[in-house]
Structure 1
Amino acid sequence: MSLQFIKRIFTSGVFLISANVMLSVTSAHAAVNIQQWQTSVGSEVYFVENHDLPILDISVNFPAGSARDTADKSGLASITRYLMTLGAAGMTDEVIANKFADIGAVLGGSFDTDRAALSLRTLSSERERLQALGLFANILQKPDFPESVLAREKARIISGLEESSTQPESISNKAFMSALYGKHPYSLDESGEIDTVAKIKKEDLQAFYQQFYSAKGAVIAIIGDLTREQAQQVAELVSVGLPTTPAPAPIASVPAKNQAKEQRIAHPASQSHILLGHTGIKRNDPDLFPLYVGNYILGGGGFVSRLTEEVREKRGLVYSVYSYFMPMAEAGPFQIGLQTKKDQAEAALALVHETLEKFLNNGVTEAELKAAKSNIIGGFPMRIDSNKKILDYLNVIGFYKLPLNYLDEYNKKVENVTAAQIKDAFNRRLKHDHFVTVIVGDPKAE
């Protein structure tokens, strides 16, 4: 994409978006003023104007995470996203890196089960901004997927998979997700498998890109030193050349889990790595805040949580213990994890079950609830104290279609959580007798 073409987009007096395409500005009237609209090709845009620093941050999110893989080509999604940055519009990865370095811009990205994203940070001054955005648009719209780079990266990934196959943390995570999700795509490893990665071809990357990197499925998050008009121009620039295929269909629902499963895996490590849990909640679940606040008390609040107090501090049975809900497009996992000496594994696991059972039966105390709310609300300003952090929230709000006032309402929703709501939500959403348990480094399996 030429610099002259980019300049025409940004300076043309005929740069117009019709009223039936452009949505009205919707704002969150408090700490973060989020504006939202749609580009001429159907991409959703979420923008926060901030002139404190001469910086522009942009991230383009696609429904192209590992849940879009198939069992026979697991790893395709992550390779596609990564190789987009290693060759585009005839430029090699070295040329791309040097061009960004010359103007002080930083190309980044992220990848998880639901999403694939590419991001850019650049100075907002015209020269740097236009050059950086031109490069960024080429990477998004004209990936080359060079054969030599694909072969190199497949070898690197396979080497990493071979190494991770010996590590207890990787073994336990893979076994846990497989046991929890069965044949649902959430069970697939984000990096793929050795045999599936080995057979991925350039044509597979091209087909995946065309299907899942469409303009109609893209969510663009922008924050920084731009006016609304400039942000509209940026969003058009990065979206107009994306594939015109339909937006991908939603991920399949996660089947309800109705029976327990336990897997014990031998490993020579001196520690046992234990994971147990249950399918949890979606990102927009109405129980999210009661479960979030309740889990802070159970195992998400570090040294102030019950699991840490009971299992680590009082009995000294573990090196670490935690719990969390991972809300996703469909029901993400609720997970408890711990590491302990092999000869203490059974005692530690039994105490975790006992602590969870008491939590489900008795709920939380008002003192615990008050302390949890204070800590969560007190730490909230640090979650939005930089453009990068706000950009991350824009990505989540846009991709999961959360309310634009999500950040404004966050503390209020935390404050409104009651002990009764926590007990009710936990008992409805977690069936303790249906938990999946994985123990890697289990003496009984050796």
Structure 2
Amino acid sequence: MTASVAAHSASPTKVTTLASPSGVEAWHVESDVVPLIAVAFTFEGGSAHDPEGKPGVAQMLARLLDEGAGDFDSDTFQEHLAARAIELSFNAGNDAIGGSLKTLVKHADEAFDLLRLALVEPRFDQDAIERVRAQTIAGLRYQQNDPGVMATRRFFEEGFAGHPYSRSTSGTLESVASITRDDLVAMHRAIITRGRIKIAVVGAINAERLSAQLDKVFGALPEAKPLTIIEPAVLGNLGSRFVVDLDVPQSVIRFGMQGIAWRDPSFIPAYVLNHILGGGAFTSRLFQEVREKRGLAYSVGTSLVSYRSAAMTWGYTATKNERVGEALQVIADEMARLRQDGPSDEELQKAKDYLIGSYALGFDTSTKIAHTLVQIAFEGLGVDYIGHRNGLVGAVTQADIRAAADRVLGDGRMLTVIAGRPTGL
């Protein structure tokens, strides 16, 4: 076992990079404050790698990993988790399949055993497949009348037309109905492998014990083989508006423009810019202009979205059908003003102060720490990132903000999708 500590006095927590005897690596934070262990992990490869014509395989796979494994059928597996208050869950996104484990220290051996079974020996029993399929289809049918879901789905269809990111991670009624056990086994074999995983472990477990558990759980996974390359994509249809016709009194709006990936050197200035525009819950310009001054919407905001092969700035709001045009104009005007004039020095400083001061709040529980660390590891930002992240925020200048605004806000054109029956556009 080898270990090295990468910490900084400004870091919210001290992180050790640990490698087990068989070469399984993890980021480790040892803490005996509470007798808990939290594990977060993520495998490279997600719904973007769903088989052609069958979106939904990755998500169904994630939902089935704890539906029986090894000698345990679904009910028995869940009973073992419940008997020891072990929390185990899995999820799937565009670029990754991930999961988390939380257990009391005294039940750690059994918890890690169950995690190993779920990852290495999932059963994919037909009754479990059919149950999850039925649940997924029921959810998809319900979502057909949800304006937020329908607007989001259309946004990705138009913004990434012809690209894997255009497909819904949940799939469609037709695709989910066609998924076979062979599809699930093939994706499991391709993605749930040693060479694709990032792991973070936080809690009352020392390096020696953790090293043994890493080998037991993740050392049993097969080696990775190359995945299909997901080509880079740029958000398309900027300047276009699309309407999803739904008979609802209030329209849901999704809008977006170009973004900057987390791995990009200019991400931090873009992050500060986004906080000023729409990321600061009650202080952002959009919140003040759209909600506080005009009462057009209850909520409005923006966020940076960073995928492996694309980046965008994503926005949301909802307003009465007859006020959609007004809301969109206010949003466009505020973006143009920010792009042309930039923020005031006071506004920029307040944004930086908030982002620096609030960063430690993401490290107040072992689960939060584990998930944050595994995301940083997945992005390849380095174990020392949390130590110098606040320094990067503090160093952002007006020139940096202007450069980020040129890239993100560009000429002001947005892709806009409205789900409802807007009038006066």
The letter of the residue matching 2:56 is G
Aligned to 1:174: 153
Which of residues 77, 90, 100 is equivalent to 1:96? 77
State the Cα deviation string for residues 331-365 of structure 1 (Å, max 9, x = none): 23311211111111111111111111111111111
The 1-side partners of 2:366 and 2:20 are apart by 23
Aligned to 1:75: 56
Aligned to 2:297: 318
Contact 2:245–2:419 under 8 Å retained in 1: yes
State the Cα deviation string for residues 378-399 of structure 1 (Å, max 9, x = none): 2222111111111011111221
The 2-side partners of 1:438 and 1:258 are apart by 11
The letter of the residue matching 1:59 is A
The letter of the residue matching 1:66 is S
Deviation at 1:248, TM superposition (A): 3.4
The letter of the residue matching 1:85 is D
Aligned to 1:114: 95
The 1-side partners of 2:82 and 2:134 are apart by 27
Aligned to 1:364: 343
2:401 is the alignment partner of 1:422 = yes
The 2-side partners of 1:144 and 1:370 are apart by 54
In the TM superposition, 1:396-415 aligns within 5 A as: 396-415=375-394
The letter of the residue matching 2:324 is A
Aligned to 1:204: 183
Which of residues 24, 28, 33 is equivalent to 1:47? 28
State the Cα deviation string for residues 39-59 of structure 1 (Å, max 9, x = none): 566543211111212111112
The letter of the residue matching 1:25 is S
The letter of the residue matching 1:326 is V
Aligned to 1:386: 365
The letter of the residue matching 2:88 is L
Deviation at 1:158, TM superposition (A): 0.7
Aligned to 1:8: none
Contact 1:364–1:423 under 8 Å retained in 2: no
The 2-side partners of 1:349 and 1:96 are apart by 50
**CA 1:207–1:301 in 2, change beyond 3 Å: closer, same or farther?**
same
SS in 2 for 1:73: coil
Which of residues 306, 311, 318 is equivalent to 1:339? 318
Aligned to 1:10: none
SS in 1 for 2:29: strand
SS in 1 for 2:91: strand
State the Cα deviation string for residues 26-75 of structure 1 (Å, max 9, x = none): 42233322222445665432111112121111123112322222441100
Question: For structure 1, which segment, 373-382 or 222-231, has the greater mean C-alpha deviation from structure 2 after superposition?
Answer: 373-382
Aligned to 1:136: 115
Aligned to 1:441: 420
Aligned to 2:308: 329
The letter of the residue matching 1:114 is D
Aligned to 1:236: 215
The 2-side partners of 1:203 and 1:43 are apart by 28
The 2-side partners of 1:39 and 1:257 are apart by 44
Aligned to 2:247: 268
Which of residues 259, 264, 271 is equivalent to 1:285? 264
Aligned to 1:193: 172
The letter of the residue matching 1:83 is L
The 2-side partners of 1:219 and 1:300 are apart by 28
**CA 1:387–1:259 in 2, change beyond 3 Å: closer, same or farther?**
closer
Q: Percent identity?
A: 29
Deviation at 1:295, TM superposition (A): 0.9
2:232 is the alignment partner of 1:253 = yes
SS in 2 for 1:318: coil
Contact 2:15–2:29 under 8 Å retained in 1: yes
5+ residue gaps, structure 1: 1-16
The 1-side partners of 2:181 and 2:91 are apart by 21
Which of residues 188, 200, 205 is equivalent to 1:221? 200
